[in-house]
Amino acid sequence: MKKTAFLFPGQGAQAIGMGIDLLEKWPCAAALLERASEILGYDLKQLCAEGPEEKLNSTVCSQPAIFAVSAMLLKVLGEVSPSLKPDVTAGLSLGEYTALYAAGLISFEDGLRLVQKRGQAMQEAADVSSGAMVSILGLDEEKVRQLCKEAACGQVLEPVNFNCPGQIVISGHKEACLRAVKLAEQVGAIKAVPLAVAGAFHTILMLPAAQKLEQVLEQTEIRDPDDVQVVANIDAEYYPSAQAIRQGLVKQLIQPILWQKCMERLIRDQVSVFYEIGPGRVLTGLMKRIDRKAKIINIGSAQSFDALPND
């Protein structure tokens, strides 16, 4: 049986203007953005429309902004093509929260509060640890692990985002990341690109954030998976229960994100069409590298809905 998957992007997908083109045509999107501003305590519409870019790119603001805009696009999709439903959802890191919302396992309000707390906790952990992340292009996993071993010099440095063939992100102490950038081309990498992030996400340096998030999650209502399955970043397995979701979201902060394996799992499980729902086209680009034959449709703006069937 062929299946449909909804995919949701993570931090880094944000851009000035995202979601604003939805507001005039679809009141449901405007209402959701207004509700998000009430929950967050600041004008999210103004931030998305005007920035400043530095504030929108901050960990504290980018995470709830991406969640809210992805949810707006999902809401509009429900109006434009109400018969289009996912059999499975997945999200890259932060996007996993939107995947849980799309699967009906958390409410919009709880999801937004969770990502706000997550962003704050990650920023606080980053402030007390000098961390960074670097995208390594053109090396396989074995060579990336060897690069990390050579560059670490006793510090934290490890591969954490397995995005697609030839693209693995490493994370750790800032000095170790800088050494890795200098060594990367010597061991055969095409390029090493430092990422504009606040800290060493998905490593043990985020343990304080994971501990704070765990407390918040224990107080949050999460439903057991039912009709729609959600594939977990940490092991490419489907979440079996609400408690497993809580554990997975905590582990996600200090463990690698296995995005390539998640997508390969869905392809094996007969997903025939993927919809990337959220700002940007990052996941569409990754999918083309994972499986060129996979059908993926990007829904990231008002114009995206023109090609969808109305029903």
Instruction: Give the residue from 89, 102, 87 showing the smallest Cα distance to 4.
Output: 87
Closest by CA to 231, choosing from 69, 34, 95, is 95
Residue by residue, DSSP assigns 223-239 as PPP-SSEEB-TTTS-B-
Does the annotation count 173 as an active-site position? no
Question: Which class for 229: exposed (0-12), middle (13-18), buried (19 or more C-beta within 10 A)?
Answer: buried
Catalytic annotation, pick one of 93, 129, 171, 304: 93
Q: How far is CA 103 from CA 114, 115, 167, 244, in A?
A: 16, 17, 28, 15
Length of the chain as a residue count: 311
CA distances from 265 to 77, 164, 207 (A): 25, 13, 28
- Verify whether residue 93 is a known catalytic residue: yes
Name residue, tokens 């729609």.
228
- Coil vs helix vs strand at 199: coil
- Give one word for 202, left, alpha or beta, with left for phi > 0 and alpha for psi -120 to 50: left
Nearest one of 161, 173, 113, 116 to 136, comparing CA atoms: 161
Decide: 126 and 153 in contact? Cβ < 8 Å: no
Question: Are 33 and 68 within 8 A, CB to CB?
Answer: yes
Catalytic residue among 62, 70, 129, 202, which? 202
Structure tokens at 282: 């990052």
Active site residues: 93, 202
